[in-house]
Amino acid sequence: MKHDSFFIERAIELARKGFPRATPNPLVGCVLAKNGKAVAEGFHKTFGGHHAEIVALRKAGKEARGATAFINLEPCSYWGKTPPCVSALIKAGIRSVVAAMPDPNPKVRGRGLKSLQKAGISVRVGVLKEKALELNLPFWTQMTKNRPYIVLKTAMTLDGKTTDYQDKSQWITSRQSRKILWKTRSLFDAVLVGIKTVHKDNPELTSHGYGRNPARVVLDPRLTINPNARILNTKAARTIVVTSAKNDKKFEALSRKDVEILTVGATGASFDLKEIMRLLSIKSIQTLLVEGGSVTHGHFVQNSLADAILWFIAPKILGGAAAKSPVEGKGLALNNALAVKNITLLNQNPEQLFSLPLDGGQGLRPYLRPRSSAERGGGQGGGDIILRGSLREDGLKWPLLEI
């Protein structure tokens, strides 16, 4: 219909306002309109609070009767922390509902739309579906794949090295890039590393005051983590240690530090990563930033457990056969390589990295001139290149991952 895209676009815009307080619920916005004009609007503000449809209906009052509800997600049809929105829409006398996409939650999945139709309400589905799906990719992933939306992050040189030949990595990228990473962490429910990263770098894995602190997840098959590690002694964030070891003394010591211990079966030093992701999803972790080293990244790639990449690339060359790359392990055959789609440069435009003046001499030949450090210094990333890309077949990316 004429106004469908306009009002669904507004519903998506409203829905974004619920991040991150509405999670693990989906981000939902609702616009009630009559004769092409908005009557009321609302969004799901906090988990456990009123859903977007209820907020809009309460604002509209009697004006809701005969209106069309534009929603970026199918209305819920079951009792959870709040009553079903479908019942409220029917009771308010809504004439028609335009939903961008069906709800992937197994408790809903079309039931809400069918209930509306049975009540005589006109239903249209699929307006700006792709854009609506992008916004709720974490929720969609959790509901359909029983795991979080997973982003692999690395910091490397232009020649693809994450360490030098001496296995040193501090610091590959600039301080500006590290600040961007701290802010990025605040967008995620959890950050994951392997035990080697904890032993080597002794990180806190917090946002360092740039936003909310994510939960910290450590993969530690043999439970060798040092009780004095910063990650165990920074109470600003929840910490989960995943292990297959049975060590009652170590369990007791970690429990005194308010650390959650997740015991999962393993073969040698290798976990069942898919089972771990399922368990994290049950713990309401919808978004996961994997900051592990090359071995941890290798496990995720080998198991096809990644939805996107976030690559910090420093303008340096290290070389060396002993220097590590971002993804190790067995590797993939060339015809099975993961395709990175929809790649975007987050912090620079190409012309910010290089100038392209014209030679004033004969032929006016263009040439590339590297920008000076003074020219590069003002940009985000301190001269580093920050790329993100999708590993999904459809190339969709979570739009809330911004710097």
pLDDT at 372: 46
Is the distance from CB of 314 to CB of 172 less than 8 angstroms? yes
H or E element, residue 12: helix 4-16
Q: Any catalytic annotation for residue 53?
A: yes
Joined tokens for residue 96: 């028609």
pLDDT at 213: 94
The residue count of the chain comes to: 403
What values do phi and psi take at 282, rounded to 5?
-60, -30
pLDDT at 351: 41
What values do phi and psi take at 62, rounded to 5?
-65, -20
pLDDT at 42: 97
Helices and strands: H and E segment counts in the chain: 13, 18
pTM: 0.88
| Residue of 9, 41, 53, 74 marked catalytic | 53
H or E element, residue 31: strand 29-34
Consecutive 10-residue runs of the chain (403 residues): their mean pLDDT? Answer: 90 96 95 95 95 96 96 89 89 96 92 94 96 97 97 94 88 90 94 94 91 94 91 88 89 86 79 94 96 92 94 92 89 90 76 41 41 46 86 95 77
pLDDT at 370: 44
Cis peptide before 171 (omega within 30 of 0): yes
